[in-house]
Amino acid sequence: MALLSVSHLSRSFGSLLAVNDVGFSLDEGVMLGIIGPNGAGKSTLFNLLTGMLPVSAGAIVFDGADITAAPSAARAAMGIARTFQIPQPFATLSVYENLLVAARHAGRMSHAQARDHCAAVLGRLGLRALADTPAGGLRLLDRKRLELARALAASPRLLLLDEIAGGLTDSECAELLAIIRALRAGSVTIIWVEHVVHALLSAIDRLIVMDAGRIIADGPPHDTFQRRDVREIYMGLDA
Amino acid sequence: MTRRWLDKQAHLVVLAALAAALLAAPFALGRGDLRLLTEMLCMLALAQMWNLLAGYMGLISIGQHAFVGFGGYVFFALAVLAGVPLLWALPLVLAAGVAVALPTGLLAFRLSGPYFAVGTWVIAEVYRLLAAQVSSLGGGSGISLPIALVRDFAAHPVLRDRLIYWLCLGLALIVVLGSWWLMRTRVGLALTAMGDSEQAAQSCGVPTQRLKRALYVVIAALSALIGALIFLQKLRISPAAAFSLNDWTITIIFIAVLGGIGTLEGPILGVIVYFLLREYFSQLGNWYMVMLGVVSIGIMLFEPKGLWGIVQRHTRWRLFPVRHRLNDQAEE
Ligand SMILES: Nc1ncnc2c1ncn2[C@@H]1O[C@H](COP(=O)(O)OP(=O)(O)O)[C@@H](O)[C@H]1O
Ligand SMILES: [Mg+2]
């Protein structure tokens, strides 16, 4: 059975259809990449999946339960975690406390469990030394790492990454890629939205291409990316 | 080792000494000073609660006087209309506070941001107007507590002042220590997170709306109880005094901002400095108000973390440590 299935999902802002009749389903353990030009509706799709925006139409089923109308916090507790395209650290908390929030709430861990788990996640992401520093003062790469670390602190089953590599240098990007690849060793299912296509293609099992709110292609990464219509959209970016 | 232990536990020593001094204060202070201290404790409790609402949850309420006034009026109504002994009336006021906060919150929470602020103020105005309509409670000019009930509560005025003081002290301790306890739990972590990014907090599983509503109701009920105690001390209530925007909201906000919002120590520092300012400068009349205005604008512009923020630039010492640390185990 699919972990996530989305059918006829739409969201409009006034007359703009930001997400237009989107449907797909995703098996456990798969890493799905989503690409598409700016304004294609990728972040809006994440906002719908996590309940930060109500849907205009359609249904979202997660692990057999219809969560279309469930509040954000409840979805987080069911195992859906996300990062934000523009990092949203809890600036007055320390890096470690940022993770604690997710582990203690969405992850439902006891304090002792949370402590060990967060320490392990911080170690994995190379943030251990920064654990007790305020999250407000981090540089961009560390803020991106923190986004990822906080999402992982909840021990999610489905992880949504929104342009986590955006704005990073090539070497920083490679570093982050290695971390995300390593996640695949665990059983976490990932949807990764990215603008930096080369980073994405090497890591994912499946690619969805969005344009103007619609899914225009869905399939194996390299074949899908080579499709004519997809290349046309990416001409300006990738040629 | 001993030195280190003292450093770690200094805040507990200071708190215990402070609590002991406050408990014993009635035996050392004259009536006037004791009444002043009672007032300070009430203002401290209100400021600490406003700080939780606004400083942590971003709920800028400018209508907390609704609950202070409501509590005062319910207390007087129970005494005057039903003859309920004053001590018994207090828990009933708490219950009434919950009962009125539920629908009030339902209304106020339909609004957000500046509309929430204005909404809470309008609601408080409506309560004041309603209170002035109750002719059995003196209408617009107000009413006094029945002498017999006051004598039952405490035979002698000195004893009465002491009892009221200890009740207010107890309530202030519950609010301050309760806030400290709360901020050390996972709920406190969530409250701080919400203040930074509500969306991110939700994505971390924090039911932000539910938390806001729950805390709003608890704070409203405790504010009502404080209202009852304030007007028990005054022995007289009127709509203008009970629902005073100036006394129970503006002053409270001033105290919280002065001391530093978003910290537990801020309101304590704020209340002390505010009463010092008031004692020494209030005879200046209008200029005193101008001075308070200038001070608060100055703080907001140059020291948004208030006086406690200035203190924290020089020492990491906290009276109420709440942080969770990973690498320095000893600091837990
Ligand atoms: N809250 C919002 N209100 C109005 N329009 C929005 C909102 N969020 C997104 N949009 C619009 O929806 C479209 C899709 O945006 P978005 O999902 O952020 O695209 P992407 O993440 O693919 O770049 C854009 O045209 C954007 O301007
Ligand atoms: Mg986006």
- B309 alpha carbon, distance to own chain's centre: 20
pLDDT score, position B6:
66
Q: Is residue B46 a contact partner of residue B184, using CB atoms and an 8 Å limit?
A: no
Option in B192, B205, B262 nearest A90 (CB): B192
- Tell me how close the Cα of B206 comes to any Cα of chain A, in angstroms: 5
Chain B residues within an 8 Å CB radius of A115: 326
Ligand 2 centroid vs A47 CA: distance in angstroms?
10
Q: Is B312 on the interface with A (CB under 8 A)?
A: no
pLDDT at B70 over 80: yes
Ligand 1 centroid vs B73 CA: distance in angstroms?
51
The span from the CA of B93 to the CA of B59, in Å, is 24
Q: Which residue has the CA at smallest separation from atom 26 of ligand 1?
A: A39
Return the SS3 of B303.
coil
Q: What is the pLDDT of residues B217-267, one digit of tens each?
A: 999 999 999 999 999 999 999 999 999 999 999 999 999 999 999 889 999
Residue of A nearest to B193 (CA): A90
Helix segments in chain B, DSSP class H = 2-28, 31-50, 65-82, 86-108, 114-133, 147-153, 157-184, 186-196, 198-203, 208-234, 239-242, 245, 251-259, 266-281, 286-302, 306-314
pLDDT score, position B3:
64
Beta carbon of A44 within 6 Å of any ligand 1 atom: yes
Tokens of A99: 């993770």
Q: Is A97 on the interface with B (CB under 8 A)?
A: yes
Q: State residue A192 phi and psi, 5-degree precision.
A: -120, 110
Q: Which of A108, A19, A26 is nearest to B206 (CA)?
A: A108
Return the SS3 of A135.
helix
DSSP state of B137: G
Q: What is the pLDDT of residues B262-306, one digit of tens each?
A: 889 999 999 999 999 998 888 888 888 888 888 888 888 888 889
pLDDT score, position B316:
80
Ligand 1 centroid vs B225 CA: distance in angstroms?
48
Cβ–Cβ of A106/B205 closer than 8 Å?
Answer: yes
Cross-strand pairs, A34: A193, A208
Q: Is A154 on the interface with B (CB under 8 A)?
A: yes
The CA angle A197-A198-A201, to the nearest 5 degrees, is 80
- Give the dihedral sign, CA B110/B249/B54/B38: negative
* pLDDT confidence band for B331 (50 / 70 / 90): very low
Q: What is the mean pLDDT of residues B49-78?
A: 94
Tokens of B306: 């208030």
Taking a contact as any Cβ pair under 8 Å apart, which residues of chain B between 243 and 282 contact chain A? Answer: 262
Beta-strand (E) ranges in A41-182? Answer: 57-62, 65-66, 80-82, 158-162
One-character DSSP codes across B27-78: HHS-HHHHHHHHHHHHHHHHHHHHIIIIIIT----S-THHHHHHHHHHHHHH
Cβ–Cβ of B197/A132 closer than 8 Å?
Answer: no
| pTM, two decimal places | 0.89
pLDDT score, position A182:
83
Residue of B nearest to A107 (CA): B205
- Give the residue, out of A17, A19, A43, with the most ligand 1 atoms within 8 A of its beta carbon, to mutate for a pocket test: A43
In chain B, where the domains are located: 32-244
- Tell me how close the Cα of A4 comes to any Cα of chain B, in angstroms: 17
Burial class (CB in 10 A: 0-12, 13-18, 19+), B19: middle
Torsion angle (degrees, nearest 10) of CA B250, B252, B253, B257: 140
pLDDT score, position B332:
39
The span from the CA of B242 to the CA of A229, in Å, is 71
Q: Which residue has the CA at smallest separation from atom 6 of ligand 1?
A: A13
Q: Which of B298, B254, B236 is nearest to B73 (CA)?
A: B236
Tell me the residues surrounding ligand 2 (ion) with CB < 5 Å: A 42-43, 85
pLDDT score, position A236:
52
pLDDT higher at A183 or B123: B123
What mean pLDDT value characterizes chain B?
Answer: 91
Largest CA distance in chain B: 67
Chain B residues within an 8 Å CB radius of A128: 327
Residues of chain A short of pLDDT 50, as ranges, are 238-239
Beta carbon of A39 within 6 Å of any ligand 1 atom: yes
Cβ–Cβ of A89/B325 closer than 8 Å?
Answer: no
Ligand 1 centroid vs B8 CA: distance in angstroms?
50
Cβ–Cβ of B326/A73 closer than 8 Å?
Answer: no
Beta carbon of A15 within 6 Å of any ligand 1 atom: no
Ligand 1 centroid vs A200 CA: distance in angstroms?
22
Share of residues in chain B with pLDDT > 70 (%): 97
Tokens of B153: 């509560």
Q: What is the mean pLDDT of residues B38-55?
A: 95
Beta carbon of A36 within 6 Å of any ligand 1 atom: yes
